Chain A
Amino acid sequence: MAEPVIKRDNSEAAKSTEQTTEKSTLKGTFVSVMILGGFLLLSWLLVFMLFLSRQ
């Protein structure tokens, strides 16, 4: 049997890769939790500084 010839339309492939990347990225999640972590850090530091100032 002859080898099947696969023709590629490169622009389609590029777009679908981009779509898959967009679909599967968790960058927004990462930034959101880091903001959350920043809030935890900031609030803790503020009260810690208050504690030290009253020592």
Chain B
Amino acid sequence: MNVHIHKLEKIWLTFGIAMLIVFLVVLGVATFSMGMAPPSHSHAIDPEQIENTPPFDEPGLKQVGENEYEAVMIAYTFGYKPNDLTVPVGATVHFKVTSPDVVHGFAIPNTNVNMMIVPGEVNHITYTFDEAGEYLVLCNEYCGGGHEFMRTVITVQ
């Protein structure tokens, strides 16, 4: 197919496409060689049996290393279990979250912690709490009448 394109349009499209390619390369490198992939864990779990399925039969914080923790949590209508996490400053926390009911969000404002919690699945995300404070965790995926109340706070001290 032969479509004549004006010289200036060719330059414009070359610049535009080059810019898109640069973006894609940056994003690709970050995803595949710098461990900055989007939260994409996959783990089948029966949403009706999570109370009986490890590790969700014992939700909570478990230390797994030097200032490193695993936070096993359940997102449900309308809250998070456990609801009172406290970690030391500088703690690296590996969140593992599932839902027994509908789809929820798990998001900490002003951070990159932002993932979807889908019943039947478990999602993972890791965050290092460099600064002390009270971190709001909220549900940002509409889940019903109490959606705007669904939250917890992680205390970092």
Contacts and interface: CB of A to CB of B under 8 A. Distances in A.
A27 interface: yes
Contact of A55 (B19, B36, B110): B36
Contacts of B6: 26
Given A51-B112, A54-B111, A40 B11 contact: no
A29 interface: yes
By size class, the interface of chain B is 10 to 19
Interface in B78-92: none
Q: Is the interface of A mostly helix, strand, loop or mixed?
A: helix
A30 B19 contact: no
B23 A44 contact: yes
A13 B27 CA distance: 55
Q: Is the interface of B mostly helix, strand, loop or mixed?
A: helix
B15 interface: yes
A42 to B, nearest CB: 11
Interface in A4-48: 26-27, 29-30, 33-34, 37, 40-41, 44, 48
Interface of A: 26-27, 29-30, 33-34, 37, 40-41, 44, 48, 51, 54-55
Interface of B: 6, 8-9, 11-12, 15-16, 19, 23, 26, 36, 110-112
Closest 10 CB pairs of A and B: A30-B8, A54-B112, A33-B12, A26-B8, A54-B111, A37-B16, A41-B19, A37-B15, A55-B112, A26-B6
